[in-house]
Structures are given as structure tokens and as C-alpha cells.
Amino acid sequence: MIVGAHRIAKHAGEPCGDAFTWWQEKQIWSVCLVDGLGHGAEAARASERAIVEAEADRSLPAEEIIGSVDQAIRNSRGAAMSVVQFDTGCRTLRFAGVGNVRMALFRAGEVFRYEGSPGIVGTGIRRPAPETAAWRDGDAVLLWTDGLPARLDVEQLFLTGSPADIARHLAMSPDRRPDDVGVVCCFLGEEPC
Ligand SMILES: [Mn+2]
């Protein structure tokens, strides 16, 4: 597993309302991307609290992490959020999301897309149903917020560069919308992080 990420605030000089984190717990790698509603300081407060709570729940399954964050950020503006967990032993993934933080898995000409269920984390959501799938060495996974278009066509990007390069390149792309943008890129395989 190699992970890289990049984010850019809507307006230079204001806090970014998109936030990410990842961690390894035994053979499970978890990656979390959060978009605090709107932009600016209140959005950043919501997403930072979501990240702190997610990290505190690090051993829970993805959908339960989102359920805990929902409780923890009730007094915030709310957020969209997705969590994906890669089991490096079984080569499976588990995805859960609420709101429009999207994910796609890229594999030699194929793209598998994942979307969260409707709702706003922090408003008393129903726990989202997780999706599971198998992955292979060499697969690449992107997560991105709505600062980028819903459908990203980026396969040529994977020919060069590290996950951090790809995330930065995408975050600065001309397709970017007038919003905070956050991107996380993962290369799946046995490479040490
Ligand atoms: Mn946004």
C-alpha cells in the first residue's frame, strides 16, 4: 500500500474544509476523506472533528466509523464522508460513504465506481450499508470530494508518478470547481508504505 493525498482550499488563505487521514491496524489499511459542508473555518472545524473521531474508532468497520462520527459531530455544520478499508491479507476492500465523496478503483482498462448513500454526516443518519469487493496487486484507488467532477477520467495519470503526485495533479486540475478540493490516491500491492 502506498497512499498520497492533496487538498486545496476554495480561497487561498482560508482553512480547507476537506480533510483526510489514513492508518494501518494489523492487516487493514483504512483511508478516510471528509468534506465539511460549504467551505471556510466552520467546514474545516466539522471535517477536523470527523477525522479525530475516525482515528479514535480506528479498529471499527468503515460503516461503524461513519456512525460514530455522525454522533460526534452533531453540533457541527455536518459533512460528506467516505471510508475504505483494504485488507492486505485477504485482498478485499470494504467501502462505506454518506454524501458525495466518491471513490473509483482502476484496473487495466476497467473502472469500478463507489458512491456514498444520500445524507449528511452529523445530522443523525442511518448507518450506511458497506460495499465489499476483491482487489488485486497493481490496482489504484482514488477518493475525491465534489471539488472535482463526479466522473473522473484519469487512467493515463497512473502511468507516471507517485500517489502524492497524482493527488496533487488532480487537485490542481483545470476541471476543479469553485470549492475546496480533496483527493486521496492509493496504490494497492505489497510495496511497503
Ligand atoms: Mn465540497
| pLDDT tens-digit readout, 64-121 | 999 999 999 999 999 999 999 999 999 999 999 999 999 999 998 899 999 999 999 9
Q: Which residue has the cell 466539522?
A: 46
Q: Which residue has the cell 471556510?
A: 40
CA separation for the pair 5, 171 (Å, rounded): 9
CA of 144 to the centre of ligand 1 (A): 10
- The predicted pLDDT at position 61 comes to 98
Percent of the chain with pLDDT over 90: 85
CA of 106 to the centre of ligand 1 (A): 23
| pLDDT tens-digit readout, 147-168 | 999 888 776 676 678 999 999 9
Write down all domains in the chain, each with its CATH number in brackets: 2-187 (3.60.40.10)
CA of 178 to the centre of ligand 1 (A): 9
CA of 45 to the centre of ligand 1 (A): 14
Of the pLDDT bands very low, low, confident and very high (cuts 50, 70, 90), residue 193 is very low
CA of 151 to the centre of ligand 1 (A): 15
CA separation for the pair 107, 88 (Å, rounded): 17
105 contacts: CB under 8 Å, gap ≥ 6: 93, 111, 112, 114, 133, 135, 139, 140, 141
CA of 190 to the centre of ligand 1 (A): 33
Helix ranges (DSSP H) in 81-178? 163-171
CA of 192 to the centre of ligand 1 (A): 32
